[in-house]
Structure formats: structure tokens, C-alpha cells
Amino acid sequence: MLSAADVYPGQKSLRILCVDDDTGDAELLRRRLSEIPDYQIAFTATPRAEQATELVSHGECDVVFVDYRLGGTTGLDFVEHLRSAGNLAPVIFMTGQGDETIASHAIRAGADDYVSKAELSAERLRQALQNGQSQQRRRILENENRRLLGELRQKNDLLNGQNRRLAELYDTAHQFVDNVSHEFRTPLTVIKEFTAIIADGLAGPVSGQQTEYLRTVLDRVDDLAAMIDDMLDISKLEAGLLGIARKPCSLHDVIARVRVTLERKGASAGVKVDYEMEEGLPTVYCDPEKIGRVALNLAVNAIKFSGEGKRVCVAGRSDLARSQVCVEVTDQGPGIARENLDMIFERFQQAGAAVRSGPKGFGLGLNIAQQLVQLNLGDIGVRSDVGRGSTFSFTIPAYAPAALVDRFLERVHQFREGLTQVSLVQVEPEQALEADAQAEVEYVIQHQIRRSDLVLPRRSGWLLLAPSNHADLKSFLARVERSLQESATRRRGGAAPRIVVRLLGSWSLTNDRAAFRQRVLESLAPEEGGA
């Protein structure tokens, strides 16, 4: 069948199907439709609902006019059949005079409009056609929306299923790393202890060469233990489970804790380790265990990649302009090519693999060092000269509350993306505590916060800077109370110290940073003597 567009090109055209067993009424409808200005009509009439259904299903009409009475069936049955089959074509019901009840039933059945045969006019038919086409567009959009929503739900269900599976696999992998680490540590500890006993002559005399071999064994045991620590740490870092306990401390003390290990490593490799720690370094604010790990990692790498008779220097200097302290580890090794400098902090990359040689690990050490420095609100970098050596350096913030708050606000999105506000919480013991109890409470608080949070000590308690909402704060309080109870049970010291957590307010990270900073400093000022 030709469409009206084929018959009357360039004009508004419609293919009209009339379903009416009264040929006179059908002819009257055709005449009135032909009188509508600006429309060209291709008109088809049929008295049978079956033939009409076939024509509509094959897309051979644009608008259907249907009478109520159709021999053995009714127009209502026809409309309901079309809609139940999912056909979206516009349907206009035709009624006799006074058949308003039937017309309302037709609309509920899915008709788009109705016209009275007694009042057929070109204007009324134009209005009915426009209504029908408008309702068709609405149905098409609704169908498309339902289809898209169904696809979205299906994909969302699939994604949720995949996420659950990934979470299960991740938990399994994390548990595997924990188990492997534990299983490795036990025999390594035994190997190390008995090797040390033999090397020290406690099990009988050993020759100088045997002692040298045993020291090599001890060094390699330490290397393997460090690799296991790397695997465990990277697993915890990825899961966000590696705790961070920042506090005011001395860089001299941090370095002193790793000196014995570094000197033994240096002696074993024939490398001299020097220390150039600037006098009067300011107090730093960091997790001393994590920063000690970074310093040890960088210095051990420097020793490994230096030849016998070379020198490694661990230096510390203040950078007052930036309220920080800088630690540098310099070696006299072969250096790192410029094209490799950008990749050495990536996971599973060996530092300067193209120009260095030495003991190999998993390539995790520098990546872990970078993440540990960032957790402590610092930066890490490297500069190198091929043939002359390399200097790895990292920074630690000084304990200056105003600068710490600024640094915290600058870096908060590194830890938790998408947050829009930050809260300030005051945490205080209900009663004054002895020094040991105070330290216990602080330990619990530090190990219950997230790595995105910052705790600043006050004389009578602590301030918690937390990118969070009220639900997070309630969860934090519950964790602290539970941990204090567990700690009290372990030490059998009776009831745990009661603490009071008070929300001082929440501020927008976009618009209210200055107000938040001022509020933090005001809360510290009475005890810190200003900022």
C-alpha cells in the first residue's frame, strides 16, 4: 500500500484506516478528513476487525478510527487487543450521539480520543488527529524509558553481582596473603634464630668463612621477611586497612630505631652508612613506625645498589618555609636513567632496572614507601645522576597546627573522593586521666580513625578532623567505646575510661575552608598558646 507521503510529497500526510461496518459513516468520515486544511489523507476503510488488525500490525496506517459496533465484536475489543499486543498506533473512537459512557470506556481501554458521528467536522477531526499523534509520541517515550530502565536494572544487577564476586575474590586474596605471610614468618623466624646462634658461636666454634656465610644467610632472611612485609602492606593499603597513628615525635628518635639494622646491612655489604641529622630539627607530626619503615626501605635499597667501599648518607634537614622536615637518602651507586625516574614508584617496577643490578624483590618497596609518605601528609621524590648516584627524599610535616590543618585540607581528597564536608569533633575523657590511661585512650583513638582523618592532641583531650557525616561519627564513637572496653578487659583494670565526643560543627570543603581552619585553631588556642 502506498503511503500518503508517496502520493502527496512535501505535504502533511496521513494514512487513515477506518474500521466501521457502516459504509455511509465511513464515507462521511473520509469527506470530512479531506476538508482539513494542510493535510493530505490516504484513506482505507474495512468493516472487519480482523483485517484492520492485520493492516495495523503491518504498519500500513498512521491513525485508526474505529466504531463501537463491528458485527460480531466491538471497537472496545479491538482497541484492547491492539494495546495488549503492544501496538502504539493512535486510535480515535467513533461514537453515536449520547454515547459518552462508551467513549469513556474506550479511553480507559487505550483509545486516544473520541468523536461523535453527529458532530464530525474538519476542525474537530484535526484536533483528534493531533491528540492521537501526541499520545503516540508519549507512549513511544514511555516505552523507551521502560526499556532503558529495564536495561539499566539488568546491567545494575549484573554489576552488583560482579561487584559481589570481586569483593569475594578480593577477600579471598587478602586472606591468602595474610595466611601466606603468617606461614612464611614462622619458619623464617626459626631460620634466623638458629642461624644467629650458630654465627655467634653458641653451638660451637665456626670459622671466619663460615661466619661470613651465615651473615649472608641472615641478610637474605631479612630480605625475604621484608618482601613478606611488602606483600602484606600492599594488601592492607589497597583495602584501606593499614592504620595510621600520627603524633608529635622526634625525627632523631625515628632514625635511631632503624640505625642498628642499617649498620648491620652496611657492614655486610661493605658499605659505610653516615648520618647527617641537622641539629634543632622541629618536632614532626607523623606515624613514627611508618616513617621509620620508609627510611629503612630507602636506605636498605641504597645499600643494595651501592658497591663495596661506597658510602650511603641518611640526612635530615628542616624546611621552615614549608613547615616540614626533609629526609634524604643518598647513595654512590650507578644511578637511574632519566627515562626511568617517572616509573620507579609504580608497583612491580624495579628501581632503575635498566641501569641497576642487585637483589631483586617484588618491586613493591618504593610504591609502598610512596603511599606511607602520602598517608603521613608528605611527598616523596628522587633525583639521580647516571654513574654518580641517586638521592631519594621525602618530607614530613612539622608539628605546627595551622600548617597541618592547611595540609590536611589540601590532601583530603587523596584519601576519600566525593566528600563535600568536613566535621570537627572534640574528644575528651570524662575525668582527668593518669598518663598511662591517657596514652591508652589516645592509642585506641588513633587506631580507630580512618586514614582520611586527622587527630590533633589537646592537653585535656583531642580534636578529630573528619571528612564525614553524622553516621560516620556515631560509628567512630561506637568503635572507640568497644575498643576501650576490650582494652580494659585485657588489662583487667576495671571499667574503661569514659570519653565524651562532641560535634563542634561541619563545614563545606568547597566554600567554608577558612571558617573551618579558624574554628580548629580557636579550639587549640587556649592550650597550644595560639597558632
307 to 195, 263, 283: CA distances (angstroms) = 25, 15, 35
Q: Which of 3-17, 361-375, 398-412 is least confident?
A: 3-17
Query: Do 21 and 70 touch, CB atoms closer than 8 A?
Result: yes
CA atoms within 13 A on the CB side of 198: 18
User: Model confidence over 261-303: pLDDT tens digits?
Assistant: 898 889 888 999 999 999 999 999 999 998 998 999 899 889 9
User: Mean pLDDT, the chain, as a whole number?
Assistant: 81
d(CA 376, CA 374): 5
Residue 397 grid cell: 610535616
Q: What is the pTM of this model?
A: 0.58
**Mean predicted confidence (pLDDT) in 412-421:** 70
In Å, the largest CA–CA distance within the chain is 126
pLDDT of residue 531: 40
Angle between helices 23-34 and 122-199 (to 10 degrees): 80
88 to 111, 355, 452: CA distances (angstroms) = 10, 71, 55
Residue 56 grid cell: 495495523
Examine the pLDDT at 354 and tell me if it is beyond 50: no
Write out the DSSP string of 79-146: HHHHHHTT----EEEEE-TT-HHHHHHHHHHT-SEEEEGGG--HHHHHHHHHHHHHHHHHHHHHHHHH
Please name the helix (run of DSSP H) or strand (run of DSSP E) that holds residue 33, with its range, or none.
Answer: helix 23-34
Angle between helices 365-375 and 208-239 (to 10 degrees): 50
pLDDT of residue 277: 94
**Mean predicted confidence (pLDDT) in 395-424:** 84
What are the two backbone dihedrals, phi and then psi, of residue 443, each rounded to the nearest 5 degrees?
Answer: -60, -45
d(CA 325, CA 252): 11
Examine the pLDDT at 202 and tell me if it is beyond 90: no
- For residue 428, list its beta bridge partners: 500
Please name the helix (run of DSSP H) or strand (run of DSSP E) that holds residue 247, with its range, or none.
Answer: strand 247-249
Higher pLDDT, 158 or 414: 158
